[in-house]
């Protein structure tokens, strides 16, 4: 049952509630390691990446309890600093635990993390930056061990914007001795959520949402209850589902204030978006669009996580378009699978040219990473005939139940 069968050709009509954010929940769960006591995290999505993070926390001695989307983390029993390779190997974001463990225990050993194959994403910058805070790191063929007698604040001038490095440095800095500055810092909403969580626990952080963060270390943090914001990428995916299949849907709790670039692009490509107090109403491709051109970038620019779903939209639009990927070097893995469905797409360097014949046909295709897998599902909604998307486990990393959510929106699909 690691596949999804999609019966294409039906317009959507329905509503679904947007889950909590994967990319906010993971660093916040890592941040609970900094707090001696029990934190309660609300609206955590029930996805495989969060389950892996739960297991990592438990392997370190924490007590983790879950009641639907509420997770309680009690770190009183924190005793280990070696992370099991079976969880680290499947989730790249496990690297964010390094900064938190160094701050709390002074030592951590782990294998190099894994995850989706969408680019090299080396952790060299993580390790180099932590060394500036007084960390000694011994690298081996498969992993590394890091130790520190005490983290020291430092001035971080990063060579480029990195969400993961920004998160790791925030987690290391909040309990460090002295002041840490991070520039250029990532500005993503998920970074802002992490800062909000830590600030509510007593951290001193200035500049959240800007390219310069100033963090003044404190002696301790106190347990808190925090609600994870809704997932802007999931909301964007279901918006694109409506653009692919046509129809009219309501996306409850869609975080519109964090989706400006996506909503602007959707409108330019022909979708209509109506804003409600508790979400958005999307009508798919109800008029001729004018701008099927996408360039990804760091927030607040168009997110790289949304370029695969928009590529599916372009392939079905009848006009085609162009996508320039500036964040990851290997994020066009969906192209070969869309070609199986009849798409005409050419790659030149970091740019994909979509000829957009307005028709796709059903096919058996393979998810090779998280967002590309979800994009294949929504492409199949607008295709003629039946499609099967294999390797559903990739999609489960970020979507609570994509089949149920799309059924709520009127799609015809099932597990296979």
Write down the domain spans for the chain: 3-19+230-415, 22-227
- Mean pLDDT of the 238-267 span: 97
Does 3-19+230-415 match 22-227 in CATH topology?
Answer: yes
Report residue 193 as tokens.
């959520």
Quick one: pLDDT band at residue 186, thresholds 50, 70, 90? very high
Q: What is the pLDDT of residue 398?
A: 97
Collect all residues with Cβ–Cβ distance below 8 Å to 73 and sequence separation of at least 6: 29, 32, 38, 39, 41, 57, 62, 63, 64
Question: Percentage of the chain surpassing pLDDT 90?
Answer: 86
Partnered with residue 274 across adjacent β-strands are 281
Catalytic residue of the set 44, 62, 81, 116:
116
Report residue 274 as tokens.
């109506």
Task: Confirm whether pTM is higher than 0.85.
Answer: yes
CB 204 within 8 A of CB 216: yes
Which is more confidently placed, 91 or 167? 167
Quick one: pLDDT band at residue 122, thresholds 50, 70, 90? confident
Q: Helices (DSSP H) in 105-204: which residue ranges?
A: 124-131, 163-173, 189-200
For the domain spanning 22-227, the CATH number is 3.65.10.10
Q: What is the pLDDT of residue 94?
A: 83
Q: What is the pLDDT of residue 84?
A: 67
* pLDDT at 350 > cutoff 90: yes
Catalytic residue flag (residue 116):
yes
- Mean pLDDT of the 228-232 span: 98
Residue 262's nearest CA partner among 286, 247, 287, 242 is 242
Q: Per-residue pLDDT tens for 306-319?
A: 999 999 999 999 88
* pLDDT at 252 > cutoff 70: yes
Is 3.90.1300.10 the CATH number for 3-19+230-415?
no
């Amino acid at each position: 049952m690691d596949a999804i069968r999609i019966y294409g050709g039906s317009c959507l009509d329905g509503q679904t509630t947007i889950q909590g954010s994967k990319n906010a929940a993971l660093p916040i769960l890592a941040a609970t390691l900094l707090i001696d006591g029990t934190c309660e995290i609300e609206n955590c999505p029930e996805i495989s990446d969060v389950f892996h993070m739960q297991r990592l926390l438990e392997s370190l001695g924490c007590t983790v309890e879950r009641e639907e989307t509420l997770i309680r983390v009690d770190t009183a029993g924190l005793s280990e600093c070696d992370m099991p390779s079976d969880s680290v190997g499947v989730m790249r974001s496990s690297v964010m635990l390094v900064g938190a463990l160094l701050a709390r225990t002074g030592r951590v050993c782990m294998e190099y993390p894994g995850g989706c194959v969408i680019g090299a994403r080396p952790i060299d910058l993580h390790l180099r930056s932590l060394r500036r805070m007084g960390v000694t790191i011994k690298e081996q063929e498969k992993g590394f061990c890091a130790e520190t007698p005490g983290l020291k604040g430092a001035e971080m001038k990063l060579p480029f914007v990195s969400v993961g490095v920004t998160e790791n440095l925030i987690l290391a800095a909040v309990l460090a001795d002295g002041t840490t500055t991070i520039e250029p810092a990532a500005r993503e909403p998920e970074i802002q959520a992490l800062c909000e969580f830590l600030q509510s626990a007593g951290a001193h952080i200035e500049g959240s949402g800007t390219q310069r963060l100033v963090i003044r270390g404190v002696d301790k943090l106190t347990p808190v209850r925090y609600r994870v914001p809704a997932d802007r990428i999931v909301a964007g995916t279901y918006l694109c589902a409506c653009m692919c299949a046509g129809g009219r849907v309501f996306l409850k709790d869609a975080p519109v204030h964090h989706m400006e670039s996506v909503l602007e692009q959707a409108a330019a490509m022909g979708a209509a978006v109506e804003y409600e107090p508790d979400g958005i109403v999307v009508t798919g491709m109800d008029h001729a669009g004018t701008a099927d051109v996408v360039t990804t970038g760091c927030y607040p620019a168009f997110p790289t996580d949304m370029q695969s779903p928009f590529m599916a939209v372009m392939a079905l639009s009848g006009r085609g378009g162009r996508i320039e990927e500036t964040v990851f070097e290997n994020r066009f893995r969906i192209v070969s699978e869309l070609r199986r469905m009849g798409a005409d797409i050419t790659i030149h360097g970091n740019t994909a040219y979509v000829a957009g014949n307005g028709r796709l046909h059903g096919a058996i295709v393979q998810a090779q990473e998280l967002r590309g897998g979800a994009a294949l599902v929504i492409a199949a909604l607008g295709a003629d005939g039946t499609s099967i998307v294999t390797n559903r486990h990739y999609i489960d990393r970020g979507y609570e139940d994509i089949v149920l959510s799309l059924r709520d929106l009127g799609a015809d699909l099932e597990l296979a």
